[in-house]
């Protein structure tokens, strides 16, 4: 019997691929039953990016294959992770990825139209679970000429909130070199709604990679799902990219209503000046957050997202 420590680099249903990074030699693995039981409310016991211990009955030197997969016997502690509530199983959650150095949250202004409440849910979750995040405004070649002011406005909302914002275009190459440089030597997750150009962006960062690229549904101007599994890719320049399926819903997990404001950095900066503590920032007199919104120091769009999270409707859209 042989054993070792590896990283989960691919997850599709109950099938996993592991690799002992930095060596890139993926091999198949299955889960021990006790690990499945430890998943609790999550639909997946382990996720791409997880560090795991495995064992194999095969002797040293013999390749682990689908007929003789390794067995994952332990999941090591995570430094961070991203998790969302499952949209079709409202009582369960799904871990998107683990041990992430930076999450790139990809949106486009149009085709499909950006949904700021959805982006803000992603950002709040990154704050809760300790994942540094960058907002990527993609496809800028499509709307810079006709919607440049709106582009600058959206850019300003998130830059003012404290997030790095990167404008990118696969067509013109804008922002691609910067993105490639930022990803070097790191484990980076790319996530966003279907159709925002995430897979094309990954391929532009490293042309050696070939994640699936999908079309836009003209009926609803939404993306069609192309990535159906969670997968890590090695970058030629060093580092790794985790690609995720396009998301169409994102529910918050393990977050009480009175905690939500703590994960809006721009609200946290002024909340100590509220007259009442605790303050929900909704109806109380002398609320520094509401005053900041009125004075334009906090964007009304971000504040509206916050109010929407307080009024959770359970649909996570």
pLDDT tens for 103-123 read 999 999 998 899 999 999 999
Give the number of other Cβ atoms within 10 Å of residue 215's Cβ: 9
**Domain ranges across the chain:** 2-75, 85-243, 257-310
pTM (predicted TM-score): 0.88
pLDDT at 18 over 80: yes
For residue 15, CA distances in Å to 9, 33, 82, 233 come to 11, 14, 20, 17
Superfamily grouping for domain 85-243: P-loop containing nucleotide triphosphate hydrolases (3.40.50.300)
Helix 300-310 to helix 116-128 angle (10° resolution) is: 70
Does the pLDDT of residue 92 top 50, yes or no?
Answer: yes
Helix (H) or strand (E) holding 158: helix 140-161
Check if CATH label 1.10.40.50 holds for domain 257-310: yes
CB 132 within 8 A of CB 259: no
Look at residue 168 and tell me whether its pLDDT is greater than 90. Answer: yes
Q: In CATH terms, is domain 2-75 a member of 3.40.50.720? A: no
- Radius of gyration of the chain from Cα atoms? 21
Quick count: other Cβ atoms within 10 Å of Cβ 184?
A: 12
- Report helix, strand or coil for 305: helix
Helix H or strand E segment including 58: none
| Exposure of 260 in the CB half-sphere (CA atoms within 13 A) | 23
- Give pLDDT tens digits for 278-313: 999 999 999 999 999 999 999 999 999 999 999 874
Stated as kind and residue range, the H or E segment containing 300 is: helix 300-310
Taking the alpha carbons at both ends of the chain, their separation in whole angstroms is 48
* 215: pLDDT strictly greater than 70: no
* Position 90 pLDDT exceeds 80: no
């Amino acid at each position: 019997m042989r054993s070792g420590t590896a990283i989960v680099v691919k997850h599709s249903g109950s099938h996993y691929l592991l690799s002992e990074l930095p060596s890139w030699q993926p091999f198949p693995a299955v889960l021990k039953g006790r690990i499945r039981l430890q998943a609790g409310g999550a639909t997946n016991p382990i996720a791409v990016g997880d560090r795991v211990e495995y064992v194999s009955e095969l002797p040293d030197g013999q390749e682990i294959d689908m007929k003789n997969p390794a067995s994952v016997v332990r999941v090591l502690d995570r430094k961070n992770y991203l998790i969302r509530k499952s949209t079709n199983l409202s009582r369960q959650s799904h871990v998107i990825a683990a041990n992430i150095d930076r999450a790139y949250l990809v949106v486009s202004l149009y085709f499909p139209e950006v949904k700021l409440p959805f982006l803000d849910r992603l950002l709040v979750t990154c704050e809760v679970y300790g994942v540094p995040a960058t907002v990527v405004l993609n496809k800028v070649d499509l709307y810079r000429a006709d919607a440049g002011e709106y582009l600058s406005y959206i850019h300003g909302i998130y830059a003012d909130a404290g997030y790095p914002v990167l404008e990118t275009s696969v067509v013109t190459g804008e922002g691609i070199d910067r993105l490639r440089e930022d990803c070097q030597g790191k484990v980076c997750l790319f996530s966003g709604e279907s159709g925002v150009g995430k897979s094309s962006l990954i391929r532009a960062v490293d042309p050696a990679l070939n994640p699936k690229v999908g079309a836009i549904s003209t009926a609803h101007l939404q993306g069609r799902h192309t990535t159906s599994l969670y997968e890590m890719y090695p970058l030629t320049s060093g580092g790794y990219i985790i690609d995720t399926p396009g998301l169409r819903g994102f529910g918050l997990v393990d977050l009480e209503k009175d905690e939500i404001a703590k994960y809006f950095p721009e609200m946290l900066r002024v909340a100590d000046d509220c007259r009442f503590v605790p303050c929900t920032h909704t109806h109380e007199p002398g609320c520094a957050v509401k005053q900041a919104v009125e004075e334009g120091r906090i964007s009304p769009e971000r504040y509206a997202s916050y109010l929407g999270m307080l009024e959770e409707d359970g649909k996570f859209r």
